[in-house]
Amino acid sequence: MTRESVNKEKDVAGVKDLELVRSLFPEMVKRRRHLHRNPEVSYKEEKTSAYVASILTGLGIEVRTGVGGYGIVAVIKGKLPGKTVALRADMDALPIQDEKVCDYASEIPGVMHACGHDGHTSALLAVAEYFARRLDTLQGEIRLIFQPAEEVCPGGAVAMIQDGAIDGADVIYGVHLWTPIPVGTAASAPGPLMASTDEFFVDMKGQGGHGGMPHAAVDSVVAGAALVMQLQTIVSRSVDPLDPAVVTIGSIQGGTVQNVIAEHCVLSGTVRCFKEETRHLIRRRIEEMAEGTAKAYGTEAIIDYVMGYPPLVNHEAEVNRFFREAGNAFGLRAEVSPKIMPAEDFAYYVQQIPGCFVLVGAGNPAKGASYPHHHPKFDLDEESMLYAAGLLITLAESYLGET
């Protein structure tokens, strides 16, 4: 049997018609470039949201706007009964000045799509169009989640979940276009894929005084310096060496001039790891060390620990589906991803329902897509959107076809 006839036969059974997706590619590029020229930062995605809603409405898709902020939930119900698959894209940009020289560079000073969320949004719009045209063969429901505010905690995912975005959904898939891996490749892993991210601030409050009379003051700078060194032992001495974790002190600020003992010395840092129990261990050790060091130096530790996104933990059955099915999405090559330290609020969805998150290769030095995410010259190989859309469709149809 030829490949064409296999595809044709599959299509009769309601399985994917990726040529339809391919035909939507020029539109994907057009929309992504529109979004790229008109980026909006987290929690301010008003025009982006309106743009997405107008395209979905134009396709005759039922849309709920204002979900958890500027979020949109679009519902595509097939004519055949079945389960509900949620597919998610984030829509926000970053406060970065675009330094690219091209006709689709950002037109908004100081704001830029430097993480590829414009590509996610555009790819998911193509997925919407694909399913909207195939209601007769669609078994079940496709739930499209266009999420605001991924880049800034507490993030848009929690608000959308609280607003019912995934109520009744059986499974969820999401992708991140990813320039560190080449276009045509995609990577994921069972279990923890992306780190949790927390922030902490500690003020080692002392008592100000004359630099020449330290006995009459309590030096917060000495206490702060000691705490910086103490905190380095958490990962090396308290965390399992086989469990990756980071404690970084990103800033230390104390005092104003050379001859005054500083009353305040404030440390701030970030914590990244892959297990909830490790996260809680690190938090506890930071608090214990801050309090213990404060006691040793006679200061007071004022601690503010801010929990950010949890670790993103993929469900094994759905990652297995990715490895099994990826090749059906335009021959996408599936690889096992190492754990990565950036965080993602997609983590909250897979805490609620089964699902998996995939990094879809978008790197291509020949097209200038070689800069890291959040770089002022960041760009992606737009063909990655085709793979992303094909993969989301493939995963959704595989799931619905099985149940």
| Backbone torsions φ then ψ of 280, nearest 5 degrees | -70, -35
Q: From the CB of 365, what's the least distance to Zn ion, in Å?
A: 21
Helix runs in 156-219, H state only? 156-162
How far CA 307 is from CA of 154, 259, 270, 311, in Å, comes to: 9, 37, 10, 11
Q: From the CB of 113, what's the least distance to Zn ion, in Å?
A: 10
Q: From the CB of 217, what's the least distance to Zn ion, in Å?
A: 44
Q: Which of 72, 73, 115, 286 binds Zn ion (CB under 5 A)?
A: 115
Q: Which of 90, 92, 203, 263 is catalytic?
A: 92
* Catalytic status, residue 345: no
CA 349/CA 313 separation, integer angstroms: 10
Q: From the CB of 18, what's the least distance to Zn ion, in Å?
A: 25
Residue given tokens 């055949």 in the structure block: 80
CA 141/CA 84 separation, integer angstroms: 5
DSSP-based helix, strand, coil % in the chain, nearest 5: 35, 30, 35
Whether residue 374 is annotated as binding a ligand: the answer is yes
Stretch that binds Zn ion, among 109-117, 126-134, 185-193, 261-269 (CB under 5 A): 109-117
CA 79/CA 322 separation, integer angstroms: 26
Whether residue 276 is annotated as binding a ligand: the answer is no
Q: From the CB of 115, what's the least distance to Zn ion, in Å?
A: 3
CB atoms closer than 10 angstroms to residue 181? 19
175 near Zn ion (CB under 5 A): no
Side-chain-facing half-sphere of 123: CA atoms under 13 Å:
30
Nearer to Zn ion, 138 or 313 (CB): 313
| Backbone torsions φ then ψ of 109, nearest 5 degrees | -60, 130
Give residues with Cβ within 8 angstroms of 232, minimum separation 6: 247
Binding positions for Zn ion, 284-343, rule CB under 5 A: none
CA 180/CA 163 separation, integer angstroms: 34
CA 198/CA 205 separation, integer angstroms: 22
Stretch that binds Zn ion, among 48-56, 114-122, 350-358, 392-400 (CB under 5 A): 114-122
β-pairing, 80-90 vs 171-182, is parallel
**H helix or E strand, kind and range, residue 251:** strand 245-254
Stretch that binds Zn ion, among 108-116, 197-205, 268-276, 385-393 (CB under 5 A): 108-116
Stretch that binds Zn ion, among 4-12, 53-61, 113-121, 347-355 (CB under 5 A): 113-121
**H helix or E strand, kind and range, residue 269:** strand 265-273
Nearer to Zn ion, 115 or 234 (CB): 115
Name the closest residue to Zn ion (Cβ).
115
Note whether 196 and 311 are within 8 A (CB). yes
Nearer to Zn ion, 120 or 279 (CB): 120
Note whether 96 and 40 are within 8 A (CB). no
Q: Which of 150, 318, 379, 382 is catalytic?
A: 150
Note whether 360 and 388 are within 8 A (CB). yes
Task: Report how many residues bind Zn ion under the rule CB under 5 A.
Answer: 1
Q: From the CB of 114, what's the least distance to Zn ion, in Å?
A: 7
* Catalytic status, residue 129: no
Stretch that binds Zn ion, among 10-18, 107-115, 202-210, 303-311 (CB under 5 A): 107-115
Nearer to Zn ion, 189 or 239 (CB): 189
- Determine if the peptide bond prior to 365 is cis (ω within 30°): no
Q: From the CB of 185, what's the least distance to Zn ion, in Å?
A: 18
Give residues with Cβ within 8 angstroms of 260, minimum separation 6: 208, 209, 210, 211
Nearer to Zn ion, 129 or 151 (CB): 151
Whether residue 151 is annotated as binding a ligand: the answer is yes
Binding site for Zn ion (CB under 5 A): 115
Give catalytic residues, as residue numbers. 92, 150
Give binding residues for Mn(2+) as ranges. Answer: 115, 117, 151, 176, 374
Give binding residues as ranges. Answer: 115, 117, 151, 176, 374
